[in-house]
Amino acid sequence: MPIYSEKVMDHFTNPRNVGEIDDPDGVGEEGNPVCGDMMTFYIKVKDNHLEDVKFKTFGCGAAIAVSSMVSEMAKGKTLEEAMKITPKSVAEELEGLPKNKFHCSNLGAQALNKAIKDYLSKKKGGGKKVMTEQEGEKKHISCPYCDQEIMKADFPYCQACQLTVFYCPKCRKPLPRENGVCPHCGAVMKSEASKGGE
């Protein structure tokens, strides 16, 4: 059983900055196809600083604690400073994470980074929100087991067949978890992912 630091337990039981931002300047989503953790970060930017940072996380206690800590570390920082937040620095701020939970700090830093990149890409495009094909796929995912549509609120579970949906870490498309190779992009899944589907 993982042993968590007092800081991890504090951020898990009393998470900071939970929720969504109305009309966010940037949104970033990251997930782990093996454990099912999903993190979504929302940011508001003013004068090149992160004026507000909020998150919604579906996952274990470590994932929630990491999301809370990342939001605290990022709030008030310049975009450049926030993009330098690393999985290692998040884990250090939390006074350590068990080895089997360290991937959670990767997700938090990556989701924040994606939110900032989303803001920068919209800013470059004149501030208009243009939904990419990839974003559209995320909002309307079909279950690879039964082909029923999965609502974003239910992800990563399919309500129709009651199974957990896995997706390729490279192309982000859903795939049956027993697949050793992604049928969409040909990426080879890690052995751990293959074992998880046994």
Sequence-distant (≥ 6) Cβ neighbours of residue 190 within 8 angstroms: 34
Contact 187, 172 (CB under 8 A): no
Which two tokens mark 127?
A: 């501030």
Paired strand residues for 155: none
State the catalytic residue, choosing from 35, 143, 158, 182: 35
| CA atoms of 72 and 112, how far apart (whole Å) | 11
* DSSP structural state of residue 43: E
What is the H or E stretch that residue 137 is in? Answer: helix 133-139
Nearest to 79 by CA among 42, 40, 51: 51
Compute the CA torsion angle 166, 107, 121, 138 (nearest 10 deg).
20
In the residue annotation, 185 being an active-site residue is answered as no
State the catalytic residue, choosing from 60, 104, 143, 185: 104
| CA atoms of 181 and 166, how far apart (whole Å) | 12
**Residue whose token pair is 């006074």:** 95
In the residue annotation, 182 being an active-site residue is answered as no
Catalytically active residues, by annotation: 35, 104
